[in-house]
Structures are given as structure tokens and as C-alpha cells.
Amino acid sequence: MNANSSTHTLAAGLQDSVHESQFAFRQVLDALARPGQIRHIGAALPGVALGGAMARLLLCLTDDETTVHWHGSSPDDPSNRSLQTWLRFHTGAPVAPQPSSASFVVVTQPLQAPALDSCAQGSPESPEFSSTVLMELPSLCDGPALEWRGPGIQDMRRVRLSGLPESFWTQWQANHVAFPLGVDLIFTCAEHALGLPRTTRVRRLEGI
């Protein structure tokens, strides 16, 4: 029974690992280069309790030198352990006990997201050593209106993200002001992703 359970947990990966990984990587780079534009990443993977975009991005972005913090559930939760084992099997990514020591912070319950300033911020000499937060949302186009401006955006882009905690955009303002330090975010929902790099200015157009 243990062998079957392990096989079921670990079997799901990318069918064409080279081409699918390259596609997802190009799409997420484009999402970060053009903040607020939704990009298609790919369908859900059988047996993996994550949306298709989140699962595929983890497979293409992580390796045995990138630590991953799984936030929002107990480390002893069976589903959490299964996802850690799944990713470790496919990419070698070790688990970070705290967001402050993580290359990637995975958030599947956005209302329980860690404070952005609790994640790795980088340093003035090496701002790239900050966390990238991958956050799964209920929708990328059905939330309160936001106005995004900055590099990669021509004039202004209207964005509507749903499911974020009330304090999130106040935290984001502090994160943006801290540039070049601070975190970058990738929001996912089902098969799609949307990037929010630390260079982007966000203005709320209505209450959250």
C-alpha cells in the first residue's frame, strides 16, 4: 500500500519535461516583464493538489539549490508533506522552514499569506537573493480594481485580483518603496499566471 501511495504521489510530472518546462519558463519571464498581463502556463497535473500553473512553475523554476517554503498549512499535514515529497522527487528542491530563508514561498491560502517583509529581502549588494512568492488566487480578473504603473507597462494597466488579505496592498507599497530590496510575486489561478515585480506601483481604485 505504501508503494502504491508513493507511486500515486510522485508519478505526476511534466510529460515532455524539456519543452513544457521551457514553455512555462518563457511564459513566466514574460509575465514578470509585462506586469499585469495574464499568461497561460498549462493544465493541471494528475494527482497534484495544485493548480496547473502553480505546479508547472514549481517544476520549471526550482532545483536542488532553490529552497521552497510551503506556507499556510502545518508541516505535518499529509497533503503538505505529499507536495514537498513530489517536488523534491522531481527537482530536488529542499524545504525552507521559514519564508526568510526561502528562494520561493508557495502560498495556496492567500488569506493566510506571510507578511511580505518576513520573506527574504535580498541585500543592497545582492538584491536577487530575495524570495519570489508564488500565490494561488481564486481569480486573476474578478477582484477590486487596481491601477498598475511602472517598467514593462505602457502608461497604465487595470488589474483585478481576488482573494487577497486586506493588508496586502499596504504591504506591497512598503515592498515597492524598499527597491532594490523586496520580493517579486507571481499570482496563479488554475492554468494562468500574472507577474508583479517589486518595481510596479499599485494604486487601489476602490475598497478591498
2-9, Cβ contacts within 8 angstroms, sequence gap of 24 or more: 8/47, 9/47, 9/82, 9/85, 9/86
**Which positions ≥6 away from 165 have C-beta within 8 Å?**
110, 111, 113
Domain boundaries, the chain: 2-204
Task: Tell me which residue of 111, 126, 40 sits closest to 71, measured CA to CA.
Answer: 111
pLDDT at 14 (0 to 100) = 87
Q: Is the dihedral of CA 32, 33, 37, 39 positive or negative?
A: negative
pLDDT tens, N- to C-terminus, the chain (208 residues): 343 444 344 646 888 889 999 999 999 999 999 999 999 999 999 989 999 999 999 999 999 999 999 996 555 566 678 899 999 999 999 999 999 999 999 999 999 999 999 999 999 999 999 999 999 999 999 999 999 999 999 999 999 999 999 899 999 999 999 999 999 999 999 999 999 999 999 998 864 4
Strand partners, 202: 148
CATH number, domain 2-204: 3.40.50.11310
The single residue listed with the C-alpha cell 474578478 is: 142
Helices and strands (H and E) in the chain: how many: 5, 9
Yes or no: say if 118 and 42 are a contact pair by the CB < 8 Å rule.
no
Phi, psi values for residue 35, rounded to 5°: -55, 140
- Rounded to whole angstroms, the Cα distance separating 197 from 8 reads 36
